[in-house]
Every structure is written in C-alpha cells, then in structure tokens.
Amino acid sequence: MENHDNIVIIGGGFAGVELAEQLLKSNIKSQIILVDKNNYNFFPPLIYQVATGFLDVSNISYPFRKHFRSHPNFSFVMGELQEIVPAENKIILNCGEIFYSKLIIATGTVTNYFGNESIRKNALPMKTITDAINLKNKILERLEKASKTSDDELRAKLTTFVIAGGGPTGVEVAGMLSELRKNILFKDYPELESVAFDIYLIDGLPTILAPMSKKSQHYAQKSLEKSGVIIKLGQVVKDYVDGVVHLADGTAIASENLIWTAGVTSQAFQGLPEESFGKGKRLRVDSFNKVIGTPNIYAVGDTCLMTTDPAFPQGHPQLAQVAIQQAKLLAKNIIAKENGKDQKPFIYNDKGSMAIIKRNRAVADLPEPFKHFNGFVAWLIWIFVHLMSLINVRNKVTTFFNWLNSYTTKDQPLRMIIDPSKK
C-alpha cells in the first residue's frame, strides 16, 4: 500500500476498534488501515464463558469487515506485525508491507509463562478465542475419558482442575466451573457421580482479586469457598510435568487440567529503539500516547506504559476502560493536531472494577458516591455493563438470550466438542 497518508492501527481489540471508529466518525480524509492476525473483534472479558460452554463464539465476536463496511476510507489487512521501519515510515507484516503517516500500536498483551517451557507447552491458557475453544474441547474430552476409565487415579486427575492466577479471570473461571459441577456435570455424566471434581484456585499473593477492595476480596473468597473451590494463597506454580502441578512449597496436585491465568506481558517489535520499551515490554509513551523516541508512532491500551498521569505514576492498570479512553482521546488529538489546535494530555477517569463469581454473586468497586457492591446487585451491574460493552446490537441481543436461558434452566446446550485440528 504505497499511499503514505495512511493511519495504520495494529490490533483490533478495545483500543484499536474504538480508535478506528472515532477517526472514521470525524470524516478524516486519511485512509484508516486496521491490521489484525484475526479477521474479527472479540470481547476478552467473556471468553471464559465460551470456554465453559455458557456462550457461543459468535456471541462475543464480530468480523471487522462487516463492522466497518460502510466506510470507504477504511481497509482491513489480516496479518501479523513482524518489523517496524521508522526511517521509512513502513511496517513489515507476514503478508507484505504498508507505509504509514501515523502508526498506532494497540496489540494488547499475550500470556506470560515466566519462562517456564513445561507450563507453556502443557497448561491451558485463557487469552484468545482459540484458547477458549481449545479449553472447552479439553474439558469435555477429559470428562468423556473419565466417564469410561476404570482407573480411579486417572479419573481423579482428569476431573481435577487447577487454576493458576487469582485475578478476575481466575475467579470467574473457578466460579463457572463450580456452577458446572453443581448444576450440570452429574446430569450429563452420571458415571462420574462418585468423583470429587476438585477445583483449586492458586495465587502467589496473599489474596485473590488483588487490585480490588478488601470487601470485594473477602466476599469473593468466601463465596468461592462456600461453592467448594479450594483456594491456596501465597503459593506459586513452579512446574507442571506429567499431569502433576508442582507448587513452590514442595506440595503437588495431580491434575490433567492446569488453566493458566497467572500473568500477561506485552510484545516487543523489531525496529523500535530500546529506549521505547519499559517494564513488561510495554511501550513507553508521553501524555499524548506518542512512543518515546519516535516522531509519529503511538501506543494505546495494555501495550503502553504512561507515567505522566499524576494518579498513576507507575502506569495505568491494564483494563478495557483505560484502552477505550486512551483511544478516544488519541483520535481527538489527531484531529486537533491536523486542524492546528492544542492537544490534551491523557488523564484516566477510573470508573471502577468488577468481577463475577457465580450465579447471583459478583463484586463491584465503583467511584464515589457508590463505593462497594456485592451479591445480586453487583451481579446485575456486571450483567448490564458487559452487555452494553459488546460491539453491536446483534451480540448484545444473542448474549442476553443465552444468559436468560442459562439463568432459567441452570443449563446451556453448547457442550459440543468441535476440534478443527482433528481430521
């Protein structure tokens, strides 16, 4: 693509889609090019429901080309970024080259295995749609295998689940698995009626949901424990070999199912100066989201590290709201700069955080004057916020009816093993 008046956005997550939408709404004359390794946007906060069979993939994903088809100055390229050539205002993808006038990196994060190859090869991550489909397949395949075996030890390993990471994703997966055990498992698999179906939640910190309030942490832990989830805090998964999870204190848990939600890291791209990268490979940006050491490259969302916001001197939390707010302001600043107007520095408006635990149970820490909610009220808030955050009306409606069906029947008929890798 030889036209140099291209605003190229790498990554079609919260930040990338929001930025493209805002620029296109402004009737900007530049060509907006969105690059992503997938041809669809998806909603990461709900992939655990795909993984546990409570939502379909189509409920939380939508094709980029269909979403932006009414904009003649938008184009989509399915590809992966391999190198940036700042001197030539060019990026190299695995499928070709694109020139840019402005480059915005919104690539989010990837799963962090902290250098442990055994965990990387054998654990089940929870980061992408592919991860969610794979996890659902593995859970169902292992339940099928457990229902047939006469080996008690193997059956216990196949039906024991260990979740590494006590953040919102880990808590939500643990809660959803406990719902599966309570309402569905023994109806579908009467052969497994005698198994314990143990669910472990492990975190190296002294509490789950570390970024949230003490009230939320306490409520979430008590709710999970009441549901039969075994919580081990101050523990780190050291290794995972031959279906055995080894903890740092020397203890071990026999399980074929290690679900890894313990950490994320950003991606480093070839071609950017070393000074552009900070902790966790995040790109260091100024208060206008411009990457340090570059004239026309920007970064937004989880992949950037901004230390100029007075309330967040160590950088912002890697949350959807940060990504969306940064994208909105960057779009306004790009337009303002083109019109010779002043740009505004980014200041994060913290709208709070929340996590769902299980049916009718959630926690929400909201700004003044609301503060803390838990239980059914927090669960309703969580439902509303997540429905409204889906990309379009179709996804909102289908997800709502799926949830309504699950709530009224305490079931969901999406437990099919569909593995395209099998011939």
CB contact at 8 A, 205 and 170: no
CB contact at 8 A, 84 and 91: yes
Residue whose C-alpha is closest to residue 229's, from 287, 169, 161: 161
Q: Could you tell me if residue 110 is left (phi over 0), alpha (psi between -120 and 50 degrees) or otherwise beta?
A: beta
Which of the residues 21, 88, 153, 172 is marked catalytic? 172
3-state SS class at 72? coil
Contact partners, residue 251, CB within 8 Å, separation at least 6 = none
- Tallying the residues shown for the chain, one arrives at 423
Q: Could you tell me if residue 53 is left (phi over 0), alpha (psi between -120 and 50 degrees) or otherwise beta?
A: left
Residue whose C-alpha is closest to residue 104's, from 29, 26, 38, 23: 23
CB contact at 8 A, 323 and 302: yes
CB contact at 8 A, 401 and 385: no
H or E element: which one contains 53?
none
**Tokens in use for 118?**
């055994």
In order of 13, 81, 100, 291, 337, the CA distances from 340 in angstroms are 29, 32, 20, 21, 5
CA distance linking residue 94 with residue 107, whole number of Å: 15
CB contact at 8 A, 223 and 171: no
**Active-site residue, 172 included:** yes
Q: What are phi and psi of 422, to 5 degrees?
A: -90, 130
Catalytic residue positions?
172
